[in-house]
Structure 1
Amino acid sequence: MVMLPREAYTDPAVLAWERRHFFAAHWTCLGRADELSTGTTYCATEVGDVGVLLTFGDRPRAFANTCRHRGHELLQQGESSDRRAVVCPYHGWSYELDGAVLAAPRMGEAFDPAPYGLVELPTEMWHGWVFVNALGTAAPFSEYVGGLAGLVAPYRPELLVLKARHSYEVAANWKTVVENYHECYHCPLIHPELCKVSPPTSGDNWDLPGAWIGGLMDLRPGAETMSLDGKSGGIPLPGVDPRTVNYLGLFPNLLLSLHPDYVMTHRLVPRAPGLTWIECSWYFPAEVDDPSYAVEFWDITNREDWAACESVQRGAESPHFRPGPLAPAEDAVYQWVTLLARGYLGKSLY
């Protein structure tokens, strides 16, 4: 069992392929619907290398960000609007939030606009998060999530409220970040805070269907949650195991950390072979006023991880780097690399 070759972490051509065949071709998380829709009726983003327009009418929908007249972008990436209709800035064609043509100026009385609605893309809502399949080629979402659904459901993250968020620019490949997340072989050397509240050799990995990997770890006796002193300043989530934390990664870009009293997510967007944007979010019951006990702990831990990932990236860019063997404690990394290898070969991810 060895790592992927150097090019997987350093070659722009590999990342370009991944953006099309991993991020655009599968179910990519774009964030929480309530946050994406605040103050806007539609916005533009990218899913992998495909421009996507999100609209918020009766429900969140995704469309190709291209006008059906001459292909002009309806919005530039990162832009948003609060108008009740999507208007192309080139020739003024406009669309309802459900994608139907609203007006096609000066096209003549004989023109039938019905066949020229926006190209809709598969969209799914899952526990409050919006997922889009930008190529329309992914497996049904229920099969894609598979056994992960039963692990996440007891935490009811859709009922939790965003209480804190940090964004990071990490000078490392997106896959390195995921690999680091899925093993604690490194914890005794770089995470003294974590090891005080959770034994780094505890827990086990799940073996359930779906395009995801992950496992759980135990809390030490006397620890209530993952915080610097092991104490919780929040509210226990009903119906979940109070002694374990689940660390789960849904391919390609959502990491879910399920705690006894809060849910933390990392959402990844690759910017370059050696650069990844990471959005870290903390969700708590609405009654919790102060999330700092969890935020402080994980910001310290995140930054320790990012420094390690950046060092791995620099090492991988060395002409002398060769893929090294994986230890038994890196079983989840092996599962992740195997999933990636299946994807590279065009096989099913699960």
Structure 2
Amino acid sequence: MDGTALSARHSLSPETAQLVARHKPGGPLERAFYTAPEVFAADLARIQYRHWLFAGYAFQVPKPGDYFTYKVGTESVIVVRGREGEIRAFHNVCRHRGSRICNTEAGHAHRLVCPYHRWTYELDGALVLDTRREFGVDRAELSLKPVAIENAAGLLFVSLADQPPDFSAALATIRQKMKPHAIERAKIAHQIDYVVKANWKIVFENNRECYHCPPNHKEYNTAAYDVQRDMAMLDPSLQPGMDAIVARANARFRALGLDEGDAMSTMTGVAFRCHRTPVMEGFVTQSMDGKPLSCLMGDIKAWDSGTLRTTVFPNFWQHTNCDYAAAARLTPIGPDETHVRGYWLVDEKAVEGKDYTLERLLPIWDLTNRQDWKICEDQQAGVSSHAYTPGPFSLVRERNVAHFLDWYLGELR
């Protein structure tokens, strides 16, 4: 890969170009968007290899030499903390014969050493071997190829593009609103790797609406106002009650020095959102019974700080409560398969068995995740049928799905 300019080099197949051209803005996608290998190839090149992808957390590399890897499609990235404390990212490709350098998902290394011929790189990517005499090339020309990386209040995003899209608005918003939760001082209490037999877009579409929540998410519905919010939009007589709930929550948020919230699950920017929503009155966090699941996180000083909902297209969302955060990282595997890593974060000082237990921490989001994956797999099975033709979106309850798909199509054009 020369310079990682994959999105610039990739041309849509004639069939994919026709699909994109005939799509009606605001509407669902045709069958081939979820099933065709050539569309999946375009998704990798135009979306995954270009946009900012959540790779992991800064606290996963606490010491110089700590690293983790993230793979999407054919590309693998090393995220490593340098000797001065800076976090860098590199393509996981040796500059000699192209071998993968780090073959483990995470580890610690004094230097990065290729297992093939032992070419060795400093943590800043510089080649240690003097190559001029034997290879006729100055070693300065053979450093590891860098990958763009940004730290958004402890969330690490990478872009494989030579010229990544502007990410400044998302960075500024996430850094400001996430700061009280101090994710950089959190830890992973547990993670679960799910393999969903559905296209990555179906998984993301599912996240962008709660029209499906009443019949599918009994547990989640007890802790959040998504369903009531949607009903208030459909029935104006319910809006004053929803407004009063939000006003009470915002008074509490202001008293805590937090940003004000909104019941609406709207996008903050074109390809991201980061805004606070209230949890159900009588609850202090998103849990099965409304009671705390761990000790307070970061610099949060009181219970019931709402939920900070953060979404970044195309692969990440996180719900950050006063005591824990639940997140998901999506990685496309094939046209009909997606890997989802679920994270549960708690404060770095939280002690398992004392401040939290997995038996209480996991259920509300693990249940919700598994319920969603079943829905997604059923939808994938249906859209794979030749009998499938796109139906209409709800202008109210599926507006965020339409927004996501309009963004997606815009990136393919």
TM over 0.5: yes
Equivalent residue, structure 2, for 1:67: 94
SS of structure 2 residue aligned to 1:208? coil
Alignment partners' CA distance in 2, 1:260 and 1:82: 32
Deviates more, 1:84-93 or 1:295-304: 84-93
1:33 aligns with 2:37: no
Alignment partners' CA distance in 1, 2:204 and 2:407: 12
Equivalent residue, structure 2, for 1:348: none
User: Displacement of 1:114 after TM fit?
Assistant: 2.1
Q: 1:100 to 1:303 in 2, by over 3 A?
A: same
SS of structure 2 residue aligned to 1:102? coil
1:343 aligns with 2:411: yes
User: Displacement of 1:315 after TM fit?
Assistant: 0.7
SS of structure 1 residue aligned to 2:156? strand
Give me the identity figure in percent.
29
Alignment partners' CA distance in 1, 2:372 and 2:105: 32
- Please tell me the root mean square deviation across aligned C-alpha atoms, in Å: 2.8
Q: 1:216 to 1:305 in 2, by over 3 A?
A: farther
Q: Which of 48, 52, 59 is the equivalent residue of 1:23? A: 48
User: Any idea what the Cα deviations from partners look like across 1:304-328, whole Å, max 9, x if unmatched?
Assistant: 1111111011111111111221111
User: Displacement of 1:45 after TM fit?
Assistant: 4.0
Equivalent residue, structure 1, for 2:338: 276
Contact 2:270 2:407 in 1 (8 A): no
Deviates more, 1:89-98 or 1:236-245: 236-245
Equivalent residue, structure 1, for 2:321: 259
SS of structure 2 residue aligned to 1:163? strand
Contact 2:199 2:334 in 1 (8 A): yes
User: Displacement of 1:260 after TM fit?
Assistant: 3.3
Q: Which of 32, 36, 53 is the equivalent residue of 2:78? A: 53
Equivalent residue, structure 2, for 1:334: 402
Equivalent residue, structure 1, for 2:207: 181
SS of structure 2 residue aligned to 1:53? strand
Alignment partners' CA distance in 2, 1:308 and 1:166: 18
Correspondence 1:19-168 to 2 at 5 A: 19-35=44-60, 41-42=66-67, 44-58=69-83, 59-69=86-96, 71-75=97-101, 78=104, 82-104=108-130, 107-108=133-134, 112-145=138-171, 147-168=173-194
Residue 398 of structure 2 aligns with an amino acid whose one-letter code is: E
Equivalent residue, structure 1, for 2:266: 206
Equivalent residue, structure 2, for 1:8: 33
Correspondence 1:300-319 to 2 at 5 A: 300-319=367-386
Contact 1:93 1:104 in 2 (8 A): no
TM-score by length of 2: 0.74
1:224 aligns with 2:284: yes
User: Displacement of 1:108 after TM fit?
Assistant: 4.1
Contact 2:78 2:102 in 1 (8 A): no
Alignment partners' CA distance in 2, 1:134 and 1:142: 17
Alignment partners' CA distance in 2, 1:112 and 1:133: 28
Q: 1:240 to 1:4 in 2, by over 3 A?
A: farther
User: Any idea what the Cα deviations from partners look like across 1:94-144, whole Å, max 9, x if unmatched?
Assistant: 221211121146834975322222221211222223222112321343235
Aligned residues: 344
Q: 1:148 to 1:106 in 2, by over 3 A?
A: closer
Alignment partners' CA distance in 2, 1:215 and 1:155: 13
Alignment partners' CA distance in 1, 2:106 and 2:37: 29
Contact 2:130 2:139 in 1 (8 A): yes
Contact 1:42 1:56 in 2 (8 A): yes
TM-score by length of 1: 0.86
Alignment partners' CA distance in 1, 2:331 and 2:103: 14
* Between structures 1 and 2, the one with greater strand share: 1
* Between structures 1 and 2, the one with greater helix share: 2
Contact 1:256 1:266 in 2 (8 A): yes
Residue 320 of structure 2 aligns with an amino acid whose one-letter code is: L
Alignment partners' CA distance in 2, 1:292 and 1:223: 19
Residue 9 of structure 1 aligns with an amino acid whose one-letter code is: Y
Unmatched runs of 5 consecutive residues or more in structure 2: 1-25, 230-262
Alignment partners' CA distance in 1, 2:408 and 2:136: 51
Alignment partners' CA distance in 2, 1:7 and 1:334: 17
Alignment partners' CA distance in 2, 1:175 and 1:25: 16
User: Displacement of 1:10 after TM fit?
Assistant: 1.3
SS of structure 2 residue aligned to 1:205? coil
Contact 2:195 2:338 in 1 (8 A): yes
Q: 1:42 to 1:150 in 2, by over 3 A?
A: closer
SS of structure 2 residue aligned to 1:29? strand
Residue 15 of structure 1 aligns with an amino acid whose one-letter code is: F
SS of structure 1 residue aligned to 2:377? helix
Q: 1:173 to 1:188 in 2, by over 3 A?
A: same
1:321 aligns with 2:388: yes
User: Any idea what the Cα deviations from partners look like across 1:252-284, whole Å, max 9, x if unmatched?
Assistant: 111111223321110111111111111111112
Q: 1:94 to 1:173 in 2, by over 3 A?
A: same
Unmatched runs of 5 consecutive residues or more in structure 1: 346-350
Alignment partners' CA distance in 1, 2:398 and 2:281: 25
Q: 1:43 to 1:301 in 2, by over 3 A?
A: closer
1:294 aligns with 2:337: no
